[in-house]
Structure 1
Amino acid sequence: MICTVTFNPSLDYIVRVDDMRLGVINRTTYEQVLPGGKGINVSIVLGNLGHASRALGFLAGFTGAEIARRVSEAGVSADFIEVAEGMSRINAKIKSNEETELNGQGPLITEENIEELYAKLDVLGEGDTLVISGSVPNTLPGDMYERIMARLDGRGVRIVVDAERDLLTRVLPYKPFLVKPNNIELGDIYGVTLKTRDEVVPYAKRMREAGAQNVLVSMAGEGGVLVSADGQVFQSPAAKGTVVNSVGAGDSSVAGFLAGLMETGSYETAFRMALASGSASAFSDHLATRPEVEALMASSH
C-alpha cells in the first residue's frame, strides 16, 4: 500500500490576468480550479501511472468537501480526516506580468485529529510506502514529520520526505527511503549556491551520508541528480519542452520515481521516470499522464 499525507490541502484557484494592477478591478482571461497539496499531487500522478494510493490529510468546510470530491474524481482513494473548525484553504495563483500567490491559512487541527491520523498510519508495515510532503500548518506541532517517522520506525515502511530545510534535515537520522530537495533547497541546507549537476553531486552524497537512502535532486531546466541507496550516481539534463505550469512538477518526480522502482527495481529507470514525470507535468496545464511520461522517456534515449 502507498499512502500520501497532505497536512494542509487546498483548492487552487489559478487565474491569468492581462497586466495585473493593484487598487483596480482586474478581469481574468483564464480560470482553473484544482485540488492542491504536494501529497495529493503525488497520489494523482501515481494513479495516472497506474498505481493506486490512499490520500490522507486534514479537511474542513465546503472547500474541504470539494477537495475530497475532486481527489476522488481523479481516481484516488480519499481517506481524509474531517476537522470541525475553520475551512480548508483556497490558494489563489495569479499569473500576469509576474506570478503572485495568495495562500489561505487552513483549518484548526486538534490533538484528536492528529490521533486520528496516527490511527490511519498505524496499519502500515513491511513493504508499504508513505509519502509525507509539504509545509506543516501552524496549528500542527513543528516536529510533525519526526513524530510520524519515530512512530513508524522499525516497521519496514519506506518513507518518502519532500520538505524544506529543518523539516527535512531533522528526519535524516530516521533514514527516509527517499528525499527530494531541489538544488536551491539543497544549497540552502548546506549554505552554498548549486547551479550545475556536477555541483549538486557532492552535496547529494552528503545528504545520503547523513541518513537518507536515496537522494533525488530536481533542478528544473537543468534536469536532475540521483544518488541511490546502493551508492550509484545518475545525472541527466532536462527534457526539451516549453514550461506551461511548474506547480506539481516536483511531486510528479516523486511519483515517477516510485512507479519506476516498483515496476523495474532499477534505480536508473526510476530516475529517468522521475525526470520524465516532472517534465510532463511542467509542459502541460495538468499533471503528468502515462502516455506523456513514456513519450518523454522514449525521446530521451
Structure 2
Amino acid sequence: MIFTVTFNPSLDYVVGLDSFREGAVNRSEWEQIYPGGKGINVSMVLKNLEIRNIALGFVGGFTGKEIQRRVKDFGCYTDFVKLKSGNSRINIKIKAAKESEINGQGPDISKKELGQLFKKLESIETGDMLVLAGSIPTALPEDSYENIMKFLENRSVKIVVDATGELLLRVVKYRPFLIKPNNHELGEMFGVTLNGREDIIIYAKRLQEMGARNVLVSMAGDGAILVDENGNIDEMKPPVGVVINSVGAGDSMVAGFIAGYLKNQNYREAFKMGVATGSASAFSETLATREEVLKLLEKIEESER
C-alpha cells in the first residue's frame, strides 16, 4: 500500500482576473476551488493512474471537512486526523497578468493529535511506500519528518520525501528511497549556484553520499535528471507542449515515478513515467489524467526510437 502525508492541507481558491489593481475592488472572471497540499496532489494523481493509496494528514474545522469531502469525492481513500480546534487553511491564488498567492498559516496541532498520526502510521507494513510531501507547519516540531522515518526505519518501508532546504538535508541520513528537489532548491541546499548538468549531478551525488538512495532533480522546461542507486545517471527532456499551470507538476512527477516503479521496479521506466506525468499536469488546467499521461509517455518513447 502507498500512504501519503500532508501536514498542512488547504482549500485552494483560485481567482482569474483580466488585471489586478492593488487597493481597488477587483471582480473575478472565473473561480475554482480544489483541495491542495503536496501529499494530496500525489494521492489524487496516483488515483488517476489507478494506483490505490491512502491520504493521511490533519484537517480541521469546516474547511477541513470540505477538503476531506472533495478528496473522497475524487475517489481517494483518506484517514485524516480530525483536529479539535481551528480550521484548515485557505490559500488564495490570483491569476492575472502577474500571478500572486496568499497562503494561510493553518491550525495548531497538539502533541496528542500528532500522536494520533503516529498511531495511524503503525499500520504501515514491510514493502509499503510512504510519501512525505511539503513543509512542516510551525505548530509541529521541526524534526517531525525525522521522527516518522525513525519510527519506521526497521520496517523496510520505501519513503519518498518531497521537501526543500534544511528539512530535506535533515532526513537523508535515514536513506529515503527517493527525494525530488528542483535544480534551484538543490543549489540553495549547498549554498551554491549550479551551472548546468555537471553541477547538478555533482550535488545530486552528494545527497546520495549523505544517504539518499535515488535523487530526482526537476528542471522545469529543461526536463529532469535522475541519479539512481545503481550508479546510473539519466537525463530526459520533457515532451513538447504548452505550459498552462505549473502548480502540482512536481507532485505529479513524484506520483508518476512511483507508478512507473511499481510496474516493474525499473528506474528508467519510472523516470519516463515521472516526466510524462509531471508534463501532463503542466500542460493541463487540472492534475494529470491517465489518458494525458499515456499520450505523453508514447511521445517520449517515440523520441527514443
TM-score bracket relative to the smaller structure: over 0.9
Equivalent residue number for residue 263 of structure 2:
263
Equivalent residue number for residue 182 of structure 1:
182
- Seq. identity, %: 54
> Is residue 2:132 matched to residue 1:161?
no
Structure 1 residues 125, 275: closer, same or farther in 2, change over 3 A? same
2:29 partner SS? strand
Partner amino acid, structure 2, of 1:43:
S
**Quick one: distance in 1 between partners of 2:146 and 2:33?**
32
**Quick one: distance in 2 between partners of 1:31 and 1:270?**
35
CA contact (8 A) 1:4 1:130 kept: yes
Structure 1 residues 295, 127: closer, same or farther in 2, change over 3 A? same
1:29-40 aligned within 5 A: 29-40=29-40
**Quick one: distance in 2 between partners of 1:53 and 1:300?**
27
Equivalent residue number for residue 197 of structure 1:
197
Partner amino acid, structure 1, of 2:142:
G
Structure 1 residues 138, 152: closer, same or farther in 2, change over 3 A? same
Partner amino acid, structure 2, of 1:217:
V
2:4 partner SS? strand
> Is residue 2:11 matched to residue 1:15?
no
**Quick one: distance in 1 between partners of 2:194 and 2:85?**
42
Partner amino acid, structure 1, of 2:262:
M
Partner amino acid, structure 2, of 1:96:
A
Equivalent residue number for residue 139 of structure 1:
139
Q: Cα distance, 1:196 vs. partner?
A: 3.2
Q: Choose 73-82 or 198-207, whichever is displaced more.
A: 198-207
Q: Cα distance, 1:285 vs. partner?
A: 0.7
**Quick one: distance in 2 between partners of 1:108 and 1:8?**
10
Structure 1 gap segments, 5+ residues each: none
**Quick one: distance in 1 between partners of 2:231 and 2:70?**
40
Equivalent residue number for residue 294 of structure 2:
294
Q: Cα distance, 1:209 vs. partner?
A: 1.3
CA contact (8 A) 1:183 1:195 kept: no
Q: Cα distance, 1:30 vs. partner?
A: 1.7
Equivalent residue number for residue 170 of structure 1:
170
Partner amino acid, structure 2, of 1:226:
L
Equivalent residue number for residue 125 of structure 2:
125
1:58 partner SS? strand
1:126 partner SS? coil
Equivalent residue number for residue 251 of structure 1:
251
Q: CA RMSD in A?
A: 0.9
When normalised by structure 2's length, the TM-score is 0.97
- How many residue pairs get aligned? The number is 301
CA contact (8 A) 1:197 1:222 kept: no
Q: Choose 55-64 or 199-208, whichever is displaced more.
A: 199-208
Equivalent residue number for residue 235 of structure 2:
235
CA contact (8 A) 1:197 1:224 kept: no
Q: Cα distance, 1:195 vs. partner?
A: 5.2
CA contact (8 A) 1:181 1:217 kept: yes
**Quick one: distance in 1 between partners of 2:239 and 2:202?**
23
**Quick one: distance in 1 between partners of 2:132 and 2:185?**
17
Structure 2 gap segments, 5+ residues each: none
2:120 partner SS? helix
> Is residue 2:81 matched to residue 1:85?
no
CA contact (8 A) 1:129 1:159 kept: yes
1:201 partner SS? helix
When normalised by structure 1's length, the TM-score is 0.98
Equivalent residue number for residue 274 of structure 2:
274
Equivalent residue number for residue 106 of structure 1:
106
Structure 1 residues 180, 28: closer, same or farther in 2, change over 3 A? same
1:38-117 aligned within 5 A: 38-117=38-117
**Quick one: distance in 1 between partners of 2:125 and 2:212?**
19
